[in-house]
């Protein structure tokens, strides 16, 4: 692999197909495989020693290449921080209140939907409903795909167009949105919460210094406090931490392909995105949608078609893809992103390679 961090060469994972053809054998397993071959195939100890010496050198070279790839990945991405912005001020009472509110349909007009309806955390889900667009209490569908709440607090802003500065501001929106939870106004929300047998005391415990603890802002702040706990753990961060067995050889190759293809121009930082805005159809126009993107928010025609770059942590759990939810599979999303954003037509093996790596970004506690 090249020492130039911007232009690595191909990992030698295919140097010996008899070892790497399964695409999942960790480096440390080479000597185990050779001992197995001696036992099963009657290889003599002398031949084994010669082969092990050769494979030892190959293994050392591969380990060095992996170290370079790790250094590059650390520079371009880096691990997820331990805590989201704002988490230092959260108390256990505030987080507990937020969790209850998140799962409680009391916040919707007909008491049929909660935050979890569209951003599912139950049953190991990835913080989404896996629908193209989400169904509201009145049977209407929203205009954009529901993003994941996992790691959301690390992003520069919330919603596809970035119209909410943080998790608290985001939590205020869906409750009053007429297409989503459709509560008529803040007063109606507070009246419903105040009439509950437990919520007034829970708000007082969560916000002990507020004269009016039960407020619409505090409702959203409590939900945000809970959402700040939704930090995922994945094998990629284990790899960055020095675990050479965390990623398979196929996933390591996929990481290198992801970088070499140019995906990191937008998908960078610890979230693999979520930190900038970009035009969808930068090179080849994306004609499947007429959504104006950030232009509707800013009024600036130059922002037409611009959206927040989605984070790729847990991307394998959050299909379908894009702001319109029209892309069904991860492989199709990779194909279209390369075409529309980079002007490239990827080969099937490149697509499969990148997809293999992206699946390593899934929270190890979750999975469909």
Q: CA 113, CA 28: separation in Å to the nearest integer? A: 49
Query: Contact 145/133 with Cβ under 8 angstroms?
Result: yes
Q: What are phi and psi of 216, to 5 degrees?
A: -65, -40
Write the CB contacts of 52 (distance below 8 Å, at least 6 apart in sequence): 31, 34
Query: Contact 186/133 with Cβ under 8 angstroms?
Result: no
What the block records as the tokens of 56 is 């030892």
Active-site residue flag, 180: yes
Q: Select which of 99, 131, 180, 345 is catalytic.
A: 180
Per-residue pLDDT of the chain (368 residues; tens, 9 = 90+): 433 333 333 333 333 333 333 333 343 344 444 444 444 445 565 655 555 555 455 555 666 799 999 999 999 999 999 999 999 999 999 999 999 999 999 999 999 999 999 999 999 999 999 999 999 999 999 999 999 999 999 999 999 999 999 999 999 999 999 999 999 999 999 999 999 999 999 999 999 999 999 999 999 999 999 999 999 999 999 999 999 999 999 999 999 999 999 999 999 999 999 999 999 999 999 999 999 999 999 999 999 999 999 999 999 999 999 999 999 999 999 999 999 999 999 999 999 999 999 999 999 999 75
Set out the domains of the chain in order of their start, with CATH numbers.
Answer: 12-76+233-361 (1.10.760.10), 87-227 (1.10.760.10)
Kindly report, residue by residue over 310-356, the tens digit of the pLDDT.
Answer: 999 999 999 999 999 999 999 999 999 999 999 999 999 999 999 99
End-to-end CA distance of the chain: 36
Calculate ∠ Cα 37-42-44, nearest 5°. Answer: 95
Identify any residues that bridge with 307 across adjacent strands, giving them in sequence order: 278
What the block records as the tokens of 74 is 């650390």
Q: In 3D, which of 142, 155, 132, 216 has the Cα closest to residue 182? A: 142
Q: What are phi and psi of 158, to 5 degrees?
A: -115, 160
Identify any residues that bridge with 277 across adjacent strands, giving them in sequence order: 308
The pLDDT value recorded for residue 42 is 54
Cβ neighbours around 61 below 10 Å, total = 13
Query: Contact 294/103 with Cβ under 8 angstroms?
Result: no
Q: CA 348, CA 99: separation in Å to the nearest integer? A: 42
Cβ neighbours around 16 below 10 Å, total = 13
C-alpha of 212 from chain center: 37
What the block records as the tokens of 365 is 């506690």
The pLDDT value recorded for residue 248 is 97
Q: CA 336, CA 326: separation in Å to the nearest integer? A: 11
């Amino acid at each position: 692999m090249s020492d130039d961090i911007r232009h690595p060469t191909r990992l030698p994972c295919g140097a010996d197909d008899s070892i790497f053809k399964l695409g999942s054998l960790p480096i440390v397993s080479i000597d185990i495989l050779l001992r197995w071959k001696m036992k099963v195939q009657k290889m003599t100890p002398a031949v084994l020693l010669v082969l092990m010496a050769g494979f030892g050198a190959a293994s050392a070279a591969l380990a060095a290449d992996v170290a370079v790839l790790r250094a590059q990945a650390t520079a371009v991405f880096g691990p997820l921080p331990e805590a989201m912005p704002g988490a230092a001020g959260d108390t256990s009472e505030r987080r507990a209140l937020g969790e209850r509110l998140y799962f409680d349909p009391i916040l919707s007009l007909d008491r049929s939907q909660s935050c979890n309806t569209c951003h599912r955390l139950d049953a190991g889900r990835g913080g989404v409903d896996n629908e193209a667009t989400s169904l509201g209490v009145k049977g209407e569908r929203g205009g954009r795909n529901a993003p994941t709440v996992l790691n959301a607090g690390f992003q520069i802003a919330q919603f596809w167009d970035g119209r909410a500065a943080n998790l608290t501001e985001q939590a205020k929106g869906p409750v009053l949105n007429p297409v989503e939870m459709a509560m008529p106004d803040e007063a109606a929300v507070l009246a419903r919460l105040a009439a509950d047998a437990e919520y007034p005391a829970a708000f007082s415990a969560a916000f002990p210094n507020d004269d009016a603890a039960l407020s619409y802002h505090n409702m959203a702040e409590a939900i945000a406090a809970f959402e700040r706990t939704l930090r995922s753990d994945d094998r990629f961060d284990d790899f960055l931490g020095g675990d050479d067995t965390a990623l398979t050889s196929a996933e390591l190759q996929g990481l290198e392909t992801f970088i070499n293809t140019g995906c990191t121009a937008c998908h960078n930082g610890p979230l693999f995105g979520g930190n900038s805005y970009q035009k969808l159809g930068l090179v080849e126009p994306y004609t499947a949608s007429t959504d104006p993107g950030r232009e509707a928010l800013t009024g600036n025609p130059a922002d037409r078609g611009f959206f927040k770059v989605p984070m790729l942590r847990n991307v394998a759990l959050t299909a379908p893809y894009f702001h319109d939810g029209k892309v069904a599979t991860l492989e199709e999303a990779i194909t279209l992103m390369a075409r529309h954003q980079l002007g490239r037509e990827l080969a099937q093996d490149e697509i499969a390679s990148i997809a293999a790596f992206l699946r390593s970004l899934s929270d190890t506690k979750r999975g469909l």
